[in-house]
Chain A
Amino acid sequence: MAPILDIQHLYKNYGATEILKDINVSIEPGDFLVLVGPSGCGKSTLLNCIAGLEPITGGTLKIGGEDMTHVSPKDRDIAMVFQSYALYPTMSVAKNITFGMKVRGVDQATQDRKLAEVARQLQIEPLLKRRPGQLSGGQRQRVAMGRALVRDPKLFLFDEPLSNLDAKLRVEMRTEIKSLHQRLGASMVYVTHDQIEAMTLATKIVVMKGGVIQQIGTPAEIYNKPANLFVADFMGSPAMNLIPAKARANGVGTKLEIARDGAEPIVLTDARAKNLPEDVILGLRPEDISEPGYRSGESVQEAQCQVAIVEPAGADTYVMTTLGGKQITARLHAETAAAPGAAHTFAFDLGKVSYFNPGTGERIL
């Protein structure tokens, strides 16, 4: 099938400032694309370009195979949910939802039917007569979703729709959006700065920084094989441990020497890695640093480190230590015996290790 959204070499400038540089991304029908990055990375601008609310400076943008460069938002067959919900304050919930249909001249019977359908789907039937000002944040969020759903568009656009909700509600609505996506099988583009939202919702993630795409991939690809140091650091919480190390080839693979506070350097061996430059940055997820006995296999090696801080988080306990001059987080089981100030034995699992070039920040292996 043709991609539902296809962006090729898209550029966006404000005057002389380049906001978006050479954006290439396309999604298939039914995909859930998440644009994620720190504030100011251009993700919302890209979404506005897709919606037609911002003209693009260069490149092509197709929705459903048709070139959209000069098509106005209303003719793009899209629906959008905004961060501030952007409900029309003087209209009732019902009028908010049907406003678009009214503007487009849809007949009253269809309007009523669709309104009832959407209201049932989102469980907002009792709210239809109220004004947005009389609703709670979560209810407003639902109404905003209703306004989008009623359109039944080719493409749904979400601009940080959950960031105005409190933590608990955010998790609830996140699940709801996900189940909505699965139920409808609709194509969605979703902007967020929250990497957990990105991981949980997406079928495809675009990580952006400074108007440039850093990596495109499935959540698993982004998580396990980050393309550069920025992605490695940005995605995942706690962040990936990025440890400077010296690599030396030996017979089987590569020896990695990592400086350790007040003791001899740790030496780990990675049998798979070959032809590494001398200076590398080792990327290890916190869960890949555990305790002896929890993981087994060739890739697991043990070493003692000085524990700095212990943070119990309920299900897990995060333990900080220093390696290679950097603070390192290990994710241990809740009942760990690690105590601050004492030495503790950690098990390093190099099965999923990433290597980065310290100069360019790009992934080596």
Chain B
Amino acid sequence: MTDVSATPAAAAATRSQGAGLKTALRWGLYLILALFAVYYLLPLFVMLTTSLKSLEEIRTGDLVALPREVTFDAWAKAWSGACTGIQCEGVRPYFWNSVQIAVPGVLISTLLGAVNGYVIAQWRFKGANIIFALMLFGCFIPFQVVLLPMARLLGLMGIAGTIPGLIFVHVIYGIGFTTLFFRNYYVTIPQELVKAAKVDGASFLRIFWSIFLPLSIPIIVVSVIWQFTQIWNDFLFGVSFSSAGTQPVTVALNNIVNSTTGVKEYNVDMAAAIIAALPTLLVYVVAGKYFIRGLTAGSVKG
């Protein structure tokens, strides 16, 4: 009898012991995660604080200390006064160059990727798989390999060193990725949808426009985030295929950091770097909100 009555109590004790261990493990896990978070955020913290300090304070103060006196002078200078080589206009003109390259580049490559993906996934034709494989292969071609042929091509087309030239390069390089995104997304949409629309009398473009594009918001967001990040952050194409007035912000940033004479203005460099990085950050924050999954859920069966 005693054995029987003792057993539940013992079991309860073991259970509470187990629960205690679990809690401890959970807290240990949080601690490790917090450490990693600090590790990753520290550079950003240093950049932000440094950009808000005066040069004097940077020279005398501690790298990780908060600014004693917050000043936006460095930001103002980085935006419109810092010198890139001989010109001292800040990153502003180059920032707008980047916008002019990135916005059309993102839109065109996304649209072309959507059409490509739609055709490859839903309008199976002979050789569709080969074309898709080649496009996929295009994703893995290193930038460096295409530099020379691309320079020649841009020259022949008469758009070397221009913003349209850079847009062209980014669109070409982006199509592989955007096609991959859209193709994989559209493959999950049942082909019966196209059949139904065909019987309804809709044309190739009508089906794309009225049925597939409205379905594609999640993958459009993915494509836009990816392409914007790629194009905005690109340095190699920017430095290779631009001329004096058409350099993107990444190239300008490099020039600012490398062409300081005399004292190195760390605060201006940091501010310029943050300015150059802000748009990609913004795209993540804004577009990420619309990253809604499962818009197609329920279109097929329940």
Which residues from chain A sit less than 8 Å from chain B, CB to CB?
48, 51, 53, 72-74, 78-80, 82-91, 99-100, 103-104, 131-137, 140, 147, 159, 164
Q: CA A60 – CA B198 in complex, angstroms? A: 21
Q: CA A159 – CA B190 in complex, angstroms? A: 14
Q: Does B298 contact A (CB under 8 A)?
A: yes
Q: Does B68 contact A (CB under 8 A)?
A: no
B191 to chain A: closest CB distance in Å?
9
**Residues in chain B near residue A87, CB distance under 8 A:** 196, 299
Q: List 19 A-B contacts (CB under 8 A).
A: A73-B199, A74-B200, A80-B195, A84-B190, A86-B190, A86-B195, A87-B196, A87-B299, A88-B210, A89-B295, A89-B296, A89-B298, A90-B211, A90-B214, A90-B215, A99-B197, A103-B201, A135-B298, A147-B196
Q: A89-B215, A90-B211, A99-B210 are in contact. Are A136 and B197 (CB under 8 A)?
A: no
**Residues in chain B near residue A89, CB distance under 8 A:** 215, 295-296, 298-299
B301 near A137 with CB under 8 A, answer yes
Partner of A133, one of B195, B199, B206, B298: B298
Partner of B199, one of A74, A91, A131: A74
Q: Flag B201-227 by CB within 8 Å of A: 1 or 0 each.
A: 110001000110011000000000000
**Residues in chain A near residue B202, CB distance under 8 A:** 74, 99-100, 103
**Residues in chain B near residue A131, CB distance under 8 A:** 298
Q: Does B192 contact A (CB under 8 A)?
A: yes
A74 near B298 with CB under 8 A, answer no
Chain B count of residues within 8 A CB distance of the other chain: 24
Partner of B192, one of A82, A104, A133: A82
B196 near A82 with CB under 8 A, answer yes
Q: Flag B168-198 by CB within 8 Å of A: 1 or 0 each.
A: 0000000000000000000000101101111
A134 to chain B: closest CB distance in Å?
7
A86 near B193 with CB under 8 A, answer yes
Q: Does B300 contact A (CB under 8 A)?
A: yes
Q: Does B127 contact A (CB under 8 A)?
A: no
Q: A89-B296, A103-B202 are in contact. Are A83 and B195 (CB under 8 A)?
A: no
A86 near B298 with CB under 8 A, answer no
Residue among A84, A136, A140 with max Cβ neighbours from chain B (10 Å): A84
Q: CA A53 – CA B191 in complex, angstroms? A: 11
A134 near B192 with CB under 8 A, answer no
Q: Does B142 contact A (CB under 8 A)?
A: no
> Which residue of the partner chain B has the closest CB to A133?
B298
A133 near B201 with CB under 8 A, answer no
B200 near A133 with CB under 8 A, answer no
Q: A84-B192, A99-B210 are in contact. Are A79 and B298 (CB under 8 A)?
A: no
**Residues in chain B near residue A134, CB distance under 8 A:** 298
A82 to chain B: closest CB distance in Å?
4
B204 to chain A: closest CB distance in Å?
11
**Residues in chain A near residue B190, CB distance under 8 A:** 84, 86
A53 near B198 with CB under 8 A, answer yes
Q: A90-B211, A90-B295, A103-B206 are in contact. Are A85 and B301 (CB under 8 A)?
A: yes
Q: Does B12 contact A (CB under 8 A)?
A: no
Q: A51-B199, A80-B199, A86-B190 are in contact. Are A133 and B297 (CB under 8 A)?
A: yes
Q: CA A73 – CA B202 in complex, angstroms? A: 10
B97 to chain A: closest CB distance in Å?
37
**Residues in chain A near residue B193, CB distance under 8 A:** 86, 88
B60 to chain A: closest CB distance in Å?
61
B296 to chain A: closest CB distance in Å?
5
A73 near B198 with CB under 8 A, answer yes
Q: CA A90 – CA B218 in complex, angstroms? A: 13
Q: CA A135 – CA B300 in complex, angstroms? A: 11
A327 to chain B: closest CB distance in Å?
36
**Residues in chain B near residue A99, CB distance under 8 A:** 197, 200, 202, 210
**Residues in chain A near residue B158, CB distance under 8 A:** none
> Which residue of the partner chain A has the closest CB to B216?
A90
A79 near B199 with CB under 8 A, answer yes
Q: CA A100 – CA B298 in complex, angstroms? A: 21
B299 near A133 with CB under 8 A, answer yes
> Which residue of the partner chain B has the closest CB to A144?
B196
**Residues in chain B near residue A140, CB distance under 8 A:** 301-302
A45 to chain B: closest CB distance in Å?
13
Q: CA A114 – CA B240 in complex, angstroms? A: 62
B198 near A74 with CB under 8 A, answer yes
A88 near B197 with CB under 8 A, answer yes
Q: CA A82 – CA B191 in complex, angstroms? A: 11
**Residues in chain A near residue B196, CB distance under 8 A:** 80, 82, 86-88, 147
Q: A135-B298, A136-B302, A140-B302 are in contact. List 18 more A-B contacts (CB 8 A).
A: A53-B198, A72-B198, A73-B198, A80-B199, A84-B301, A85-B300, A86-B195, A87-B299, A88-B299, A89-B215, A89-B295, A89-B299, A90-B211, A99-B210, A103-B200, A104-B201, A134-B298, A159-B192
**Residues in chain B near residue A88, CB distance under 8 A:** 193, 196-197, 210-211, 299
**Residues in chain A near residue B211, CB distance under 8 A:** 88, 90-91
Q: CA A74 – CA B298 in complex, angstroms? A: 26
A51 near B206 with CB under 8 A, answer no
B215 near A78 with CB under 8 A, answer no
Q: CA A100 – CA B207 in complex, angstroms? A: 11
Q: CA A111 – CA B281 in complex, angstroms? A: 47
**Residues in chain B near residue A147, CB distance under 8 A:** 196, 200
- Complex A-B, nearest 6 residue pairs according to Cβ-Cβ distance, in ascending order: A133-B298, A89-B299, A74-B201, A100-B200, A86-B196, A86-B192
Q: CA A190 – CA B44 in complex, angstroms? A: 65
> Which residue of the partner chain A has the closest CB to B296?
A89
Q: CA A104 – CA B295 in complex, angstroms? A: 27
Residue among B198, B202, B302 with max Cβ neighbours from chain A (10 Å): B302
> Which residue of the partner chain A has the closest CB to B297?
A133
B76 to chain A: closest CB distance in Å?
47
Q: CA A86 – CA B197 in complex, angstroms? A: 9
> Which residue of the partner chain A has the closest CB to B213?
A90
Q: CA A90 – CA B298 in complex, angstroms? A: 10
Q: CA A74 – CA B200 in complex, angstroms? A: 6
